[in-house]
C-alpha cells in the first residue's frame, strides 16, 4: 500500500478533548484502509502550552511516541514527564 503525502489529511482541532489551545492532527493512514486494526493513525503536533484534555478509551487503546520536545501526561492517575524517544 502506498499513501502519498498529498493525499494525507491534516486538520487543526481546537481544545482537543477539552485541552488547551490547538492540536494539529496529520492523518497518515485512513481508518478505512487499516483493515479493521485501528481507528486513528496520525501524528499529533502540540505547540508549547497546548494540550489534549483528559479522556478515556473503552475497547481500544492509544499509543503516543514523542518525536521531539517534552510532554507531561497523566495515565491512570499517575503523572509522567516524557521526552523525545519515549512512548506511552
Q: Is the distance from CB of 44 to CB of 52 less than 8 angstroms? A: yes
Q: What is the DSSP letter of 57?
A: -
Q: Is the distance from CB of 47 to CB of 85 less than 8 angstroms? A: no
Q: List the domain boundaries for the chain.
A: 5-83
Q: What is the pLDDT of residues 11-53, one digit of tens each?
A: 999 999 999 999 999 999 998 998 988 889 999 999 999 999 9
Cβ burial, residue 16 (10 Å; 0-12/13-18/19+): buried
Match domain 5-83 to its CATH number in 3.40.50.170, 1.10.10.10, 3.90.105.10, 2.60.120.10. 2.60.120.10
pLDDT of residue 50: 97
Q: What is the pLDDT of residues 48-81, one digit of tens each?
A: 999 999 988 888 888 999 999 999 999 889 999 9
Q: Give the three cell numbers for residue 75.
A: 495515565
pTM, two decimal places? 0.88
Task: Find the angle CA(79)-CA(81)-CA(87) to the nearest 5 degrees.
Answer: 100
Amino acid at each position: 500500500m502506498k499513501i502519498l503525502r498529498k493525499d494525507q489529511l491534516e486538520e487543526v482541532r481546537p481544545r482537543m478533548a477539552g485541552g488547551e489551545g490547538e492540536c494539529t492532527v496529520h492523518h497518515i493512514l485512513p481508518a478505512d484502509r487499516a483493515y479493521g486494526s485501528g481507528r486513528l493513525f496520525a501524528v499529533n503536533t502540540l505547540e508549547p502550552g497546548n494540550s489534549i484534555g483528559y479522556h478515556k478509551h473503552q475497547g481500544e487503546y492509544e499509543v503516543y511516541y514523542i518525536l521531539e520536545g517534552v510532554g507531561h501526561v497523566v495515565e491512570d492517575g499517575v503523572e509522567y514527564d516524557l521526552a523525545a524517544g519515549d512512548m506511552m
